[in-house]
Structure 1
Amino acid sequence: MDAPPMLFGPDRSADRVVRPRRALRAGVTQVVAAALGFVLGLLLPEIDGGYQVAAERVVDVLKVVGLGVLSVATLIFSVLFLVVQWAAGNFSHRLQLFRTDPMVWRLFALVVGVLVFSVTATLAIGTHRTASVAVPATALVLAATALVQVRRLQLRALKSIQLAHVLAELRDRGREVLRAMYPLPDGGDGHDVVPGSGPAPPLPDVTSTVVWAGDTALVAQVDWVRLVRVAERADAVVVVKVPVGTTLYPGDAVAQVCGGAVPDDEVLRAVVGEIERTFHQDPGLAFRLLADIGLRALSPAINDPATAVQVLDAVEDLLRPLARAELGDRSIPGATGAVRVVMRLPAWEDFLRIGFDDLCRAASDAPMVLSRARHLLLRVREVAREERRPDLDERLAWVDAELSVRHPAFLREATDR
């Protein structure tokens, strides 16, 4: 069993890929914001020096600020729920770009902090005749900050219902993970270059197989750094058999351990199971979502082939660099340079099947989509490696056959260009 070429080494910065991205929980952020508001609400009214104002006027300002910010935030969040529902119904129920945006729960935490500060400062002032001007000034600054963030969130929500913005964001996020996972051999993408270190050494014999012992879950991320450290301690190689984005059922094989003894629980702790896919380590998610949007547009209920054409524009943007990139599984070396972890990644055929085949099979009665698909195949073929062109030629022949039988005029127009 031979290890695939190395992709990540100790000399390259790939933390965004090999380390799972763990977003700070919304509840923790809200607790921190509430604690800061509570502390400020207790300390600022105790300031004796500086400019002082009547306590009654300060209390009135705090009431207006607290209730005003809370009312505006409540109204905006109510509207945003409708935006999320509309985007899911018109694009894809798996689309979570806006719903998982950190700006949403950070704004809510800020509103909680403003409310806690206003209430705490009001109680801390108590029977004081005067209070420091820092109290109303802080309240106004916090309120202004919250309103600015509300406006930013509102504008972002409006963008999330625009097709061009959604497709561009999917393309950009997909391109980011693809560049990290599949760097070009000549560095033509401006990112890391796959090292030309010759063939990798063969892997040791398989000593054990790690199976999934939990409930059904989706592999959202894998902590590759943790796996490398575990494998180094045991002088072993861990071959992860399931790519990110795969659904695991109890008893499924997760990984194979070669040449050493690694406890199963150490391997399983590195696998982050969730109920939804995330972009961080999933190179196929952008293709899946783009295909979802295109398939929904081609459904008889909607019948919007122009949207499918725009989807193919984004798909081509992702396929062109992949057509000449180093694909296949990758290995991650340890500190000594020896291979410690092998990661399974989607291959060329997988991307074509997800991002192209499903969409084109549904576009038999949409000549403008088939014409755009034909143009996509020809353009990608121009930059593709020689060994990947047969897959493109096979699909090109199918598209030409569909056009010649169903829409001969479109085929003649396309060939005359």
Structure 2
Amino acid sequence: MSRLRLQHLVRSSLWLLPVGCLVAGALLAVGTLAVDRATGYRLVPQGLTGTPSDAQTILSTFAGALVSLTTLVLTVTLVAVQLAMGQFSPRIVGALLTDRFNQLAIGLFGATFLVAVLTLREVRGSDTGTVPGLSMLLSYVLMLASLVVLVLFVHHAGQGLRVAGLIDLVGDRSREFIVRQHGELPVVTGDPGEVVAAEPGNVVRVDRPALVAAARRADCVLELVPVVGDFVVGGAPLFRVHPGTGSAASADDRPVERLRAADVTRHVLLGPERGHTEDLAYGFRKLVDIAVRSIAQPFNDPTTTVQSLHRLHDLLRQIAPRPLPGGEHRDEDGVVRLLERSVSWEGYVRLAFDEIRLAGASVPQVTRRMCAALADLKSVAPPDRQEPLDRQLRLLHAAVRRAHEDEEDVLAALTPDTEGIGSGADVTAAQRPRPARAPY
């Protein structure tokens, strides 16, 4: 077999690592059993291993549990492959099947099972007899390792079934290929006043007080280029460094030279996907995704879209009268040290309604719920936040008129209704109070 074929077999084989673990487990078991025999089974006292009856019970339990664990790992791996094939791409299968952690889990469980069975064969007697103590200790250690790997595998499988996990799996491997081919060359930015991101990822958290303190020490102003939640490409600008106003700043002084990149990049957490910790827009994004997907074919489930609009309406109502976080952060002397962009009120309104309006303009249940939400938001939003809501109403009316030819359908589709169709003025009967009956 040529070297290239051998390398390809090692990298793409699903069974090679598990078989290697089985061989290693068999060799370990044979070695420890040989040591136990050579020492007359007295190397480890039975106070640690238990009586032969105890050892047989423990090893039998180990063996049965490990069969179940191995079956679980294989089942979850196959489920992940099927979901990835149907939901994302059939070409993702190769990357999932060659996942080394899955192979290691299968191999460790199989090796532990093999060690337990071989050790069980060497136990003699019941209450009195011989127990291969060193082999028993090896079984204990492998079983403990199997439990740890099981917990890690559940976490790994959960991460791997996420969209971001599958995308990162392919992206990381492709990036590793580029590094192997061209080396880990530093990415040089065109602007000397910029601090770049060393690795790609979404901005998950920002330690603003620490960045303010770092900018104060360097007498500069930091400008965070991405918005919290943005994906930053490796080597792209993470900060722009502007001169400060103190005595250390001069016309020819470059503040970026007084500020090490590690002093600021370590205060920005980049993750594989967005999180809810500091990213309110991510919650909006998820709800909008659910709403748009629900009214798309073949799902055609506008009731789920209405449920998503309930929560979007609630979120917007909560922030409508409140001031949104500002983009300036000052030190204790009141000097601006950190600048960042944040999502505005108009941005949240557009994020909540634009895509749903475009996708659901022909669905009366959706448009009626949107009308009810916008009417209610206009009643609580201050005057300077009315225009984005008016814009949504104008666009919604225009979209509904394009979707329906009959004027009665248009009027019905634009009637505010908090349940889509169920509590609007045109589908409910008004109850008038009855006059009190005269007493006898």
Shorter-chain TM-score: which interval? 0.5 to 0.7
Shift, 1:363, TM fit: 1.7
Distance 2:292 2:416 in 1: 25
Cα shift at 1:366: 1.2
Q: Are 1:238 and 2:222 matched, yes or no?
A: yes
1:26-84 superposed Cα distances (whole Å, 9 cap, x missing partner) = xxxxxxxx9xxx9xx99xx9453174224556544433332331122321342244456
Structure 1 residues 325 and 118: CA distance shift in structure 2, 3 A:
farther
- Structure 1 residues 170-203: Cα deviation after superposition (integer angstroms, max 9, x where no partner): xxxxxxxxxxxxxxxxxxxxxxxxxxxxxxxxxx
Q: Which has the larger radius of gyration?
A: 2
Tell me which amino acid in the other structure corresponds to 1:49: G
User: Among 412, 415, 425, which residue is 1:416 paired with?
Assistant: 425
Aligned to 1:306: 303
Identity of aligned pairs, percent?
23
Instruction: Find the counterpart in structure 2 of residue 48 from structure 1.
Output: 46
What do the CA deviations read for 1:383-413 (whole angstroms, capped 9, x no partner)?
Answer: 3233212321332243345446732233357
Q: Secondary structure at the match of 1:79?
A: helix
Alpha carbons of structure 1 residues 69 and 408: separation in structure 2 relative to 1, 3 Å: same
Among candidates 225, 236, 242, match of residue 257 of structure 1:
242
Q: CA deviation at 1:365?
A: 1.1
Partner SS state of residue 362, structure 1: helix
Which residue of structure 2 aligns with residue 194 of structure 1? none
Separation of aligned partners in 2, 1:221 and 1:347: 19
Are the counterparts in 1 of residues 202 and 271 from structure 2 also a CA contact under 8 Å? yes
**C-alpha displacement at 1:293, in angstroms?**
2.8
Amino acid at match of 2:65: V
Match of 2:286 among 282, 286, 289: 289
Q: Report the Cα distance in structure 2 between the residues aligned to 1:321 and 1:313, rounded to whole angstroms.
A: 13
Any stretches of 5+ residues in structure 1 without a counterpart? 1-33, 90-98, 100-104, 161-206
Question: Are the equivalent residues in 2 in contact too, given 1:61–1:136 (CA < 8 A)?
Answer: no
Please, which moves more after superposition, 297-306 or 108-117?
108-117
Q: Distance in 2 between matches of 1:109 and 1:270?
A: 34
User: What is the aligned partner in structure 2 of residue 67 from structure 1?
Assistant: 67
After superposition, the C-alpha distances for 1:282-324 in whole angstroms (9 at most, x for unaligned) are 3222222322333333335544333322221221232121212
Pair 1:312–1:386, CA change in 2 (3 A): same
Residues 298 and 308 in structure 1, CA contact (< 8 A), matched pair in contact too? yes
The residue identity in structure 2 corresponding to 1:78 is L
Structure of higher RCO (CA pairs closer than 8 Å, 6+ residues apart): 1
- CA distance in 1: counterparts of 2:309 and 2:86, whole angstroms: 23
Consecutive unaligned residues of structure 2, counting only runs of 5 or more, are 1-20, 33-42, 90-95, 124-129, 163-190, 250-254, 405-409, 418-423, 427-440
The answer on whether the counterparts of 1:328 and 1:344 sit within 8 Å (CA) in structure 2 is no
Structure 1 range deviating more: 369-378 or 228-237: 228-237
Instruction: Give 2:425's aligned amino acid.
Output: D
Determine if the alignment matches structure 1 residue 387 to structure 2 residue 384: yes
How many angstroms does 1:348 deviate by? 0.8
Cα deviation per residue 1:327-378 (whole Å; 9 max; x = unaligned)? Answer: 1434445577765333321111111112211211222211111101111112
- For 1:257, what is the secondary structure of its paired residue? strand
Are 2:105 and 2:150, in contact at CA under 8 Å, matched by a contact in 1? no
Asked if structure 2 preserves the Cα contact closer than 8 Å seen for 1:107 and 1:149, the reply is no
- For 2:47, the aligned partner's letter is G
Q: 1:371 touches 1:411 (CA, 8 Å); kept in 2?
A: yes
Tell me the alpha carbon deviations over residues 198-232 of structure 1, each in whole angstroms, 9 at most, x when there is no partner. xxxxxxxxx98426476876545445455234223
TM-score, with structure 1 as normaliser: 0.57
* Structure 1 residues 153 and 305: alpha-carbon distance in aligned structure 2, compared to 1, 3 A threshold: farther
* 2:242 match: secondary structure: strand
Tell whether 2:356 aligns with 1:356.
no
Q: Contact (CA 8 Å) 1:69, 1:146: kept in 2 or not?
A: no
Q: Secondary structure at 2:194's aligned position in 1?
A: strand
What's the TM-score once normalised by structure 2's chain length?
0.54
Question: 2:416 & 2:214 partners in 1: Cα distance?
Answer: 59
Check 1:148–1:276 CA distance in 2 against 1; reply closer, same or farther (3 A cut): closer
Q: Could you say what the CA RMSD is over the residues aligned between the two structures, in angstroms?
A: 5.1
